[in-house]
Amino acid sequence: MLRTLFSGVDVPGYASLMVAVLFLGGVQMVSLGVLGEYLGRVYEEVKGRPLYLVRDAYGVSTHAPNSAAAEQRNKTMS
């Protein structure tokens, strides 16, 4: 490699090796960019949501409901 850069002597296989390395590096960079765009959009989507909307949509509670509150809620829903 150094012979090619400094003295201009051709090394067999140097061009094909560089093409392969640069191509695979480019594929990695594009993949990383796509992943970064995806994560950025997910972050922007989730960032502004109030927690009560998330709890209502997915049924997630931060604490276990007591049985009296659960019974009262069931009576009002039916």
Buried-exposed string 15-42: b where 16+ CB fall within 10 A, e elsewhere: eeeeeeeeeeeeeeeeeeeeeeeeeeee
Q: Which domain holds residue 16?
A: 1-37
Residue 7 lies in a domain: yes
What is the reported pTM? 0.49
pLDDT, tens digit, for every residue of 48-75? 766 666 666 676 665 555 555 556 665 6
Q: How many domains does the chain have?
A: 1
Residue 65 lies in a domain: no
Report the C-alpha gap between 10 and 1 in whole angstroms: 9
Residue 24 lies in a domain: yes
pLDDT at 47: 81
Contacts of residue 4, defined as CB under 8 A and 6 or more positions apart, other chains included, come to 10, 11, 14
Report the C-alpha gap between 35 and 51 in whole angstroms: 26
Residue 76 lies in a domain: no
Structure tokens at 8: 């201009």
